[in-house]
């Protein structure tokens, strides 16, 4: 865990990250594998916000749109969305010092970021799953940077997830299920037998990038890898949790139907969500999934899905 990293190791990592951030384009073009390895080891807490902004492309987006956030921030917004956003503010990490007080700075900034997004993408508007995403970003960076981080996650990392209809999340559920067939046939057969649709268990996982599911230390480590490598990290985390929870006949003995299975997936054994275990399994997952199973959305559709 981060707090267990010796101070001298943390300082060494900070020096390496400062060098990378100072020569970012060169590192991303010539030594991306090294950047990925350092993300897998965990970004130093003091530099996480800056690193996330660089990794996501939010920094470039902000520079290309100078003054845009201020312009959106100064507009009143659509009352239809403002009411919904207002109701959601106190539900985001209510025990975190930033968001604990109603009307406090954290909630105000969260409102500003989410309102700005509805003006930036009026055809999408607001989706409840965007609030925890924006809140995690705000814990690490100022409102303007968090806004551009949210834009990147919605447009580049999880495109279509927050649009009305949820078609993109349904398709990714089908892809997750197809991958599960290779990674854990036992879990796959169980879910298929009881006709448990992926949308029932993976929607919050994927749409919130596990920010409402995992312990906080694990959320940070997963996001370090997710913002470096993209949505495949979210798939790998989902596969690890499904395999560990439903992957053996022993584990399924007391799991006779849909209700029991959903209860099990809502209360995953903390061992499987612990930072060290999860990161190790997610990194190993790359070698466990056969190359032919690296399905993109496009070739998944053309191959007829399952």
CATH number at residue 184: 1.10.472.80
Q: Which two tokens stand for residue 110?
A: 């969260």
3-class SS at 256?
coil
Q: Do 289 and 230 share a structural domain?
A: yes
Cα distances (angstroms) measured from residue 20 to each of 200, 272, 283: 41, 32, 22
The span from the CA of 306 to the CA of 296, in Å, is: 13
**Average confidence score pLDDT of the chain:** 90
Look at residues 136, 157, 178 and tell me which one is the last residue of a structural domain: 157
pLDDT of residue 203: 95
Query: How many domains does the chain divide into?
Result: 3
The backbone torsions φ and ψ at residue 181, rounded to the nearest 5 degrees and listed phi first, read: -55, -40
Assess if residue 53 is contained within a domain: no
Range of the domain at 27: 2-46
- Helix, strand, coil % in the chain, rounded to nearest 5: 70, 0, 30
Q: Give the rounded percent of residues in the chain with a pLDDT score beyond 90.
A: 78
Please tell me whether residues 131 and 238 are part of one structural domain: no
pLDDT digits (tens, 9 = 90+) for 277-304: 999 999 987 644 444 444 455 444 334 3
249 and 171 in a single domain? The answer is yes
- 96 with 210, same domain: the answer is no
Of the listed ranges 75-89, 197-211, 246-260, the least confidently predicted one is: 246-260
Please indicate, yes or no, whether residues 150 and 172 belong to a single structural domain of this protein.
no
The 10s digit of each residue's pLDDT in 147-197 is 999 999 999 999 999 988 888 999 999 999 999 999 999 999 999 999 999
CA dist., res. 177 & res. 171, Å (int):
10
Is 176 inside any structural domain?
yes
Q: Are residues 271 and 203 in the same domain?
A: yes
Torsion sign, CA atoms 16, 20, 21, 23: positive
Contact of 178 with 305, CB cutoff 8 Å: yes
User: How distant is the alpha carbon of residue 154 from its chain centre?
Assistant: 11
Query: What is the DSSP-derived secondary structure letter of residue 282?
Result: H
Tokens at residue 303, please?
């191959």
CA distance 230 to 47: 20
Query: What mean pLDDT do residues 3-11 have?
Result: 81
In a domain, 162, yes or no: no
Per the listing, tokens 């970003």 go with 137
Q: Kindly report the number of other CB atoms within 10 A of residue 135's CB atom.
A: 27
Residue 253 located in a structural domain = yes
CA neighbor of 243 nearest in space, from 185, 192, 171? 185
How far apart CA 108 and CA 110 sit, in angstroms, is 5
In this predicted structure, the answer to whether residue 2 has a pLDDT above a threshold of 60 is no
* Same domain assignment for residues 186 and 214: yes
Residue 185 has which token pair?
A: 């046939």
User: Could you give the angle at the alpha carbon of 4 between the alpha carbons of 18 and 268, nearest 5°?
Assistant: 110
Is the pLDDT at 36 greater than 90? The verdict is yes
Q: What is the pLDDT of residues 107-123, one digit of tens each?
A: 999 999 999 999 999 99
User: Span 29-51, mean pLDDT?
Assistant: 96
The answer on 287 and 189 residing in a single domain is yes
Within a domain: 111:
yes
Q: Where a domain ends, among 114, 134, 157? A: 157
User: Do 144 and 226 belong to one domain?
Assistant: no
* pLDDT for the residue numbered 255: 86
Which of 129, 157, 185 delimits the end of a domain? 157
Block residue for tokens 């900070």: 14
pTM here is 0.91
Same domain, 93 and 209: no
Within a domain: 60: no
Indicate whether 172 and 291 sit together in one domain.
yes
Q: Hey, CA dihedral for 104, 67, 160, 223, is it positive or negative? A: negative
Assess if residue 55 is contained within a domain: no
Does 52 reside within a domain?
Answer: no
Domain holding 128: CATH number?
A: 1.10.8.270
Does 94 lie in the same domain as 131? yes
């Amino acid at each position: 865990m981060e707090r267990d990293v010796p101070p001298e190791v943390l300082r060494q990592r900070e020096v390496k990250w400062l060098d990378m951030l100072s020569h970012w384009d060169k590192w991303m073009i010539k030594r991306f594998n090294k950047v990925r390895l350092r993300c897998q080891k965990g970004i130093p807490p003091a530099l996480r916000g800056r690193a996330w902004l660089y990794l996501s492309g939010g920094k470039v987006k902000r520079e290309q749109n100078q003054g845009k956030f201020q312009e959106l921030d100064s507009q009143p917004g659509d009352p239809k969305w403002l009411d919904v956003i207002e109701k959601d503010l106190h539900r985001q990490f209510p025990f975190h010092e930033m968001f604990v007080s109603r009307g406090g700075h954290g909630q105000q900034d969260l409102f500003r970021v989410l309102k700005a997004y509805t003006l930036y993408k009026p055809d999408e508007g607001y989706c409840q799953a965007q609030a925890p995403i924006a809140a995690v970003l705000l814990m690490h960076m100022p409102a303007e940077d968090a806004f551009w981080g949210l834009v990147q996650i919605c447009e580049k990392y999880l495109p279509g997830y927050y649009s009305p209809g949820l078609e993109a999340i349904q398709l990714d559920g089908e892809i997750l299920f197809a991958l599960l067939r290779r990674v854990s046939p036992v879990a796959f057969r169980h879910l298929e037998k009881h006709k448990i649709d992926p949308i029932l268990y993976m929607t919050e996982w994927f749409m919130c990038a596990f920010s409402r599911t995992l312990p906080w230390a694990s959320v940070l480590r997963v996001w370090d890898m997710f913002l470096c490598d993209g949505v495949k990290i979210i798939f790998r985390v989902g596969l690890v949790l499904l395999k560990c929870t439903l992957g053996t006949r022993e584990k399924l003995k007391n799991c006779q139907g849909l209700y029991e299975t959903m209860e099990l997936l809502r209360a995953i054994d903390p061992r499987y969500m612990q930072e060290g275990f999860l990161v190790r399994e997610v990194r190993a997952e790359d070698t466990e999934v056969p190359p032919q199973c690296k399905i993109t959305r496009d070739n998944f559709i053309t191959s007829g899905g399952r």
